[in-house]
Structure 1
């Protein structure tokens, strides 16, 4: 169950708004397609906060999306401490440079691809998988805000080709999504072709963000989570490595043609 001040605020606001609308828990439950006992459990913190429930509550109570927005804040509050500095850097970035040797970067993932990747961790239950998927999709809003960052991603061709018969439909959807995103002038995706057998990036994924103040922050992913890098010397090393990796990648147009070729090869 969600805990923390923001989650408590959501429950308090839900109860206040319901009472102001002169609705009993039973009456409100019928409007949002929940039972009165389920509404009570949500308000008391005995039932997890649910996105669909809060979306319906916002509609019924005419809040302008308040409760759903508070839930997104609660989910950010619930992120591990090591991840919060990076989330803030990502949210306010003017530029984002991302390299990943084994996966489609999170900001470019479809819902189905994200779910498949997150579900691969068999230590996570269904609810936690769905929560993480929702948080990942919410993070993608940074690319569609009024003044989005310039986002450049470099991935390996092998990432697109890692698809058995049962996974190809999902990957075809994902590649189609990449091609759509690449139509936006602020989003670039470049492939490192398979014939480039080795380069410095294969040591691991990383992202670099440039903020409003012109400063750069890096983020390294690993099996236990990740690390935010803000030391000038370390960020400079990541920048040098980015330039080296980027020089191995194909231009955007050639990358798009290769993506389409991969999809064609499956059929």
Structure 2
């Protein structure tokens, strides 16, 4: 199910129709320029079909909006996230480099749809609708890794995170590990695994992620059972950067990690 923030998305729909009419395009003419059918254009304008980013990017091009619809979509996407998470989203989206550590799970930016859904469903307080909204949000966030100027992403995770499985989850984990391999083979993504024979290390107190801006400034983010918070103090960032050095030094090399993940894939396929 597509996740939409109703006020912002309805504004997008209204502006699409208004600007199409101002350009004197019928739905059929607009659809032809958009490479979509007229029925698809109508369904989007009427709210009968969800709006997606490729549609809006094409609309920005055809209507020469200067990126208006994509910008509005970013606002809608941001509206769908918890308030405590929104400052981190801004930092993540503008980052030139990301460094993240996860002891028990695959990082959200590298999760498949099925894996993300399984993780989010462990929260019994979430309705099925909210789970699907959060899955969509998580997949939307991953677009930063496939854009034209993606950030460098260095991810460290414990081996138990990629060995985690259970009855009925073999296919899910096989798909997730295959996705990790695909991601790790991209030049801007480095995945490193801390093997299980490293019994204790500094990262075991919990996950964290750091973002460096193009100007060189750092900001961090920590999640808790009740939400999360941004770390931007000099002292806090120094501590997280030190912990990053600690977990990275315990992890296998990029190639060794990739070989380990490929070996584990064989267990689930």
TM-score, normalization: structure 2? 0.81
Q: Please name the residue that 1:27 is paired with.
A: none
Aligned mate of 2:224, from 212, 222, 225? 222
Once the two structures are TM-superposed, the CA of residue 178 in structure 1 deviates from its matched residue by: 0.8
Q: Indicate whether 1:120 and 2:122 are aligned.
A: yes
Q: Please name the residue that 1:105 is paired with.
A: 107
* Mapped partners of 2:85, 2:40: distance in 1: 34
* Mapped partners of 2:135, 2:244: distance in 1: 28
What is the CA deviation profile of residues 7-63 of structure 1, one whole-angstrom value per residue up to 9, with x for unaligned ones? 34224214425766567xxxxxx813988xx976x4xxxx9x83369959x78xx66
Q: Please name the residue that 1:171 is paired with.
A: 173
Report the number of matched residues. Answer: 253
- 1:54–1:17 distance in 2 versus 1, CA, 3 Å: farther
Q: Please name the residue that 1:77 is paired with.
A: 79
- 1:239–1:132 distance in 2 versus 1, CA, 3 Å: same
What is the CA deviation profile of residues 103-153 of structure 1, one whole-angstrom value per residue up to 9, with x for unaligned ones? 111111111111221222222222222221121111111112222211100
Q: Please name the residue that 1:232 is paired with.
A: 234
Once the two structures are TM-superposed, the CA of residue 174 in structure 1 deviates from its matched residue by: 0.8
- 1:53–1:232 distance in 2 versus 1, CA, 3 Å: closer
* Mapped partners of 2:261, 2:96: distance in 1: 27
Aligned CA-pair RMSD: 3.1
Q: Please name the residue that 1:132 is paired with.
A: 134
Gaps of 5+ in 1: 24-29
Once the two structures are TM-superposed, the CA of residue 73 in structure 1 deviates from its matched residue by: 2.5
Is the 1:106–1:114 Cα contact (8 Å) retained in structure 2? yes
Is the 1:95–1:211 Cα contact (8 Å) retained in structure 2? yes
Mapping for residues 171-210 of structure 1, pairs under 5 Å: 171-210=173-212
Q: Please name the residue that 1:2 is paired with.
A: 5
Gaps of 5+ in 2: 28-37
Segment drifting more, 172-181 vs 131-140 = 131-140
Mapping for residues 23-172 of structure 1, pairs under 5 Å: 31-32=39-40, 42=47, 50-51=50-51, 55=55, 70-172=72-174
What is the CA deviation profile of residues 182-220 of structure 1, one whole-angstrom value per residue up to 9, with x for unaligned ones? 111111001111111221211111001110121100000
Segment drifting more, 126-135 vs 163-172 = 126-135
Q: Indicate whether 1:259 and 2:261 are aligned.
A: yes
* Mapped partners of 1:205, 1:193: distance in 2: 16
Segment drifting more, 160-169 vs 119-128 = 119-128
Mapping for residues 14-29 of structure 1, pairs under 5 Å: 14-16=16-18, 21=25
